[in-house]
Amino acid sequence: MAEAALKAAGPEEELTDGFNLIIDALKLNGIKNIYAVPGIPITDFLRMSQAAGLRVLSFRHEQNAGYAASIAGWLTKQPGVCVTVSAPGFLNGLTALAHATTNCFPMIMISGSSEREVVDLQQGDYEEMDQLAVAKTMCKAAYRVLHAQDIGIGIARAIRSAVSGRPGGVYLDLPAKLFGQVMGAEAGKKSLVKVIDAAPAQIPGADAIKRALDVIKGAKKPLIILGKGAAYAQADEAIKDFVEKSGIPFLPMSMAKGLLPDTHPQCAGAARSLVLKDSDVVIMMGARLNWLLSHGKGKNWGDAPKKFVQLDIEPKEMDSNVEIVAPVVGDMGSCVNAMLSAMGNNFPKGNADWMATVAKKRDENVAKMAPKLMNNNVPMDYHGALGVIKQVIKERPDTILVNEGANTLDLARGIIDIYKPRKRIDVGTWGIMGIGMGYSVAAAVETGHKVLAVEGDSAFGFSGMETETIARYKLPVCIVIFNNDGIYRGTDTNAASNDPATTVFVKGARYDKMMEGFGGVGVNATSPDELRQAINAALDSGKPTLINAVIDPAAGSESGRIGNLNPQSALKKK
Ligand code: ADP
Ligand code: TPW
Ligand code: MG
């Protein structure tokens, strides 16, 4: 093939090849960063990408590179790109591709693959696997490119599929032979496609807007729920206007925190149980009625009859769990702007009594929590340590907070206020452990802001080797490990043998030594004061830092706030 192309091109014509065409196609479409792990057949591709001015972040494990790409997509509205080797590298990246799809993050995973003719006859090629078939079930779209002249179209399709409509993960399969395929440079250039209007506005119908506003007008106790789809849309001003003009209390889902500040007078974050129970009209904005919201029914939602309005780009999301009386389908910016203009200037401003009831409950709960956050206990409990971090973020609201764990996640989500949009990134729809270091790398690279990763000791372990990646690229990331010697608690025992219990780790482990080993800063913090000093020093210097925050092993509870989801054995011995 390469020889035929060489001949066809003629001896004096300038040539290009698969390697260069992929790089040119990505650059033409504004891709700046690639998250990857090198190896056959993509080692040279990554070298050439770096030489051509793309930033290549080389990871220690594909899952972390994939998580980085997925969150890069959510933070920027451009597909995050992850590149892996064949079979095992591909499979390592697949969890992240599925995660991107589940969370509605635009991402493209590009994997090198073995030759079709050998794979299809199952003749045992190096890292042989029918990757396209495997990937198809886990992503929004999957494509394979076999000819150099199709690279432009292949990448264009991948980009458009990732970002248009409901965003998601896309797989692009590139067999090893493609990289070296040669064609005339001129024809190659012409074959590239710059994607025009990759995520077209989706304008909701005027009737849908009127229907929604009529329902809202009839509400006595309305509630707005903001989800990570609303934060993704980057329609921050319009959403703020809508919330304020309507006077309705809002409840932010985890990654929508900061879309409006958690300290906003209409924020109902600390009155969650009350607003879910007592509201009569619920306006879902870029949030799904999945398990995180008890599917919109059951005891958390109380007995009062409810009507749901839903703004979402995905028509199939409507009526997924409960009846949606007013579906508004479109992109969030278009939906909210249409609502705002139809509201005009005389739209009734909420129900002041209801807002006051919500605010009172919120303020009571915040006041009840305040003294716990000031405690100076040694060993630290979650509240003492999180009180420090709450204050740090208040003073440094541009910092991006990465958060995973069980108690470490649930308590941090409730306690740490976020002040600006897209400053909190976490375990997402699956409650997945392992996003921490990949997210930290991408957050630093894509935004240029400092990153504070608050990690359970177990959660950290899933991506901990990327501490080296953070040190190698000298990224301004401060990792705080809430080290309670284990999963949920460090106090379990095993009476049956000398093996440790399944939820406990090495007692008194010193994770800070890992970062020291890679030339970064490591600190062992045993009190809230030490923790405060160490975090502030890290965020001032921007040096890669890992703080081992020693937490009382008895402080946490099983599964954090979701222990009720654990199945119980009726036969369990006491
Ligand atoms: P959360 O976990 O914060 O509740 P979900 O991930 O469950 O949020 O829901 C996000 C929703 O946002 C999805 O239903 C998705 O279709 C929707 N969405 C994503 N992007 C947009 C957009 N640009 N405009 C409108 N809706 C969007
Ligand atoms: C990919 C199951 C949920 S939370 C958790 C695990 C293993 C760790 C909790 O311990 P940690 O936090 O991080 O030390 P803390 O403060 O409560 O002690 N595998 C995957 N995802 C999930 N969610 C799990 C396992 C799990
Ligand atoms: Mg722990």
Residues 380, 465 within the same domain: yes
Residues 98, 131 within the same domain: yes
Structure tokens, 242: 């809508």
Q: Whose CA is nearest to atom 4 of ligand 2?
A: 406
Domain CATH code at residue 306 = 3.40.50.1220
Q: Whose CA is nearest to atom 25 of ligand 2?
A: 433
Residues 512, 404 within the same domain: yes
Residues 91, 226 within the same domain: no
pLDDT at position 574: 56
Q: Whose CA is nearest to atom 19 of ligand 1?
A: 229
Residues 292, 186 within the same domain: no
- Does residue 197 sit within a domain? no
pLDDT at position 44: 98
- Helices marked H in 374-406: 382-395
- Does residue 364 sit within a domain? no
Q: Is the pLDDT of residue 3 over 90?
A: no
CA 407 to chain centre: 19
Q: Whose CA is nearest to atom 26 of ligand 2?
A: 433
- Does residue 255 sit within a domain? yes
Atom nearest to 433 CA in ligand 2:
21
Q: Is the pLDDT of residue 447 over 60?
A: yes
Please list every protein residue whose CB sits less than 6 Å from any atom of ligand 1.
103-104, 166-167, 227-229, 232-233, 253, 255-256, 286-288, 290, 292, 312-314, 317, 331-332, 429
Which residue in 32, 41, 151, 134 sits closest to 93, CA to CA? 134
Residues 420, 473 within the same domain: yes
pLDDT at position 304: 83
Atom nearest to 199 CA in ligand 1:
23
CA distance 82 to 92: 11
Of 359, 386, 420, the last residue of a domain is 359
Q: Which residue segment(s) compose the domain that 9 sits in?
A: 2-191
pLDDT at position 4: 60
3-class DSSP state of 36: strand
CA distance 467 to 518: 8
Ligand 2 pocket, 476 CB below 6 A? no
Q: What is the pLDDT of residues 498-539, one digit of tens each?
A: 999 999 999 999 999 999 999 999 999 999 999 999 999 999
Ligand 1 mutation target, pool 288, 295, 425, most atoms within 8 A of CB = 288
Ligand 1 mutation target, pool 99, 163, 223, 232, most atoms within 8 A of CB = 232
Ligand 2 pocket, 431 CB below 6 A? yes
Q: How far is the CA of 277 from the centre of ligand 3 (A)?
A: 32
Q: Is the pLDDT of residue 440 over 80?
A: yes
Q: Whose CA is nearest to atom 22 of ligand 1?
A: 331
Domain CATH code at residue 488 = 3.40.50.970
Q: Is the pLDDT of residue 259 over 50?
A: yes
Ligand 2 pocket, 429 CB below 6 A? no
Q: What is the pLDDT of residues 280-309, one digit of tens each?
A: 999 999 999 999 999 999 999 999 899 999
- Does residue 74 sit within a domain? yes
How far the first Cα of the chain sits from its last, in Å, is 70
Contact 79, 162 (CB under 8 A): yes
Contact 503, 567 (CB under 8 A): no
Burial of 316 (0-12, 13-18, 19+ CB in 10 A): exposed
Atom nearest to 225 CA in ligand 1:
4
Of 325, 359, 393, the last residue of a domain is 359
Ligand 2 pocket, 406 CB below 6 A? yes
Q: How far is the CA of 440 from the centre of ligand 1 (A)?
A: 22
Atom nearest to 429 CA in ligand 1:
2
Q: How far is the CA of 96 from the centre of ligand 2 (A)?
A: 17
What average pLDDT does range 241-245 have in this prediction? 98
pLDDT at position 10: 63
DSSP for 54-121, please give it: -EEEE-SSHHHHHHHHHHHHHHHSS-EEEEE-SHHHHHHHHHHHHHHHHHT--EEEEEEE--HHHHHT
Residues 280, 238 within the same domain: yes
Beta strands 107-113 and 80-84 are: parallel
Ligand lying nearest the CA atom of residue 330: 1
Cα 144–Cα 70–Cα 204 angle in degrees, nearest 5: 90
Count of CB atoms within 10 A of residue 376's CB?
10
Contact 443, 423 (CB under 8 A): no
Ligand 2 mutation target, pool 458, 489, 562, most atoms within 8 A of CB = 458
Residues 66, 145 within the same domain: yes
Residues 178, 52 within the same domain: yes
pLDDT at position 8: 62
CA 265 to chain centre: 27
- Does residue 155 sit within a domain? yes
Q: How far is the CA of 442 from the centre of ligand 2 (A)?
A: 22
- Does residue 570 sit within a domain? no
CA distance 68 to 64: 6
Residues 133, 167 within the same domain: yes
Of 135, 167, 191, the last residue of a domain is 191
pLDDT at position 7: 59
Q: What is the pLDDT of residues 530-558, one digit of tens each?
A: 999 999 999 999 999 999 999 999 999 99
Q: What is the pLDDT of residues 42-54, one digit of tens each?
A: 999 999 999 999 9
How many independent structural domains does the chain possess?
3
Ligand 2 pocket, 504 CB below 6 A? no
Atom nearest to 461 CA in ligand 2:
13
Atom nearest to 490 CA in ligand 2:
18
- Does residue 411 sit within a domain? yes
Q: How far is the CA of 164 from the centre of ligand 1 (A)?
A: 13
Atom nearest to 427 CA in ligand 2:
23
pLDDT at position 157: 98
Q: Is the pLDDT of residue 467 over 80?
A: yes
What is the chain's percent helix, strand, coil content, to nearest 5?
45, 15, 40
- Does residue 395 sit within a domain? yes
Residue 398 CA neighbour count, 13 Å, CB half: 8
Residues 45, 73 within the same domain: yes
Higher per-residue pLDDT: 377 or 2: 377
Q: How far is the CA of 122 from the centre of ligand 1 (A)?
A: 41
Residues 152, 217 within the same domain: no
Q: Is the pLDDT of residue 126 over 70?
A: yes
Q: Whose CA is nearest to atom 21 of ligand 1?
A: 229
Beta strands in 257-321 (DSSP E): 281-285, 307-312
Q: How far is the CA of 556 from the centre of ligand 2 (A)?
A: 12
Residue 143 CA neighbour count, 13 Å, CB half: 21
CA distance 572 to 574: 6
Amino acid at position 128, single letter: E
Q: What is the pLDDT of residues 71-115, one digit of tens each?
A: 999 999 999 999 999 999 999 999 999 999 999 999 999 999 999
Q: How confident is the model at residue 1 (pLDDT cuts 50, 70, 90)?
A: very low
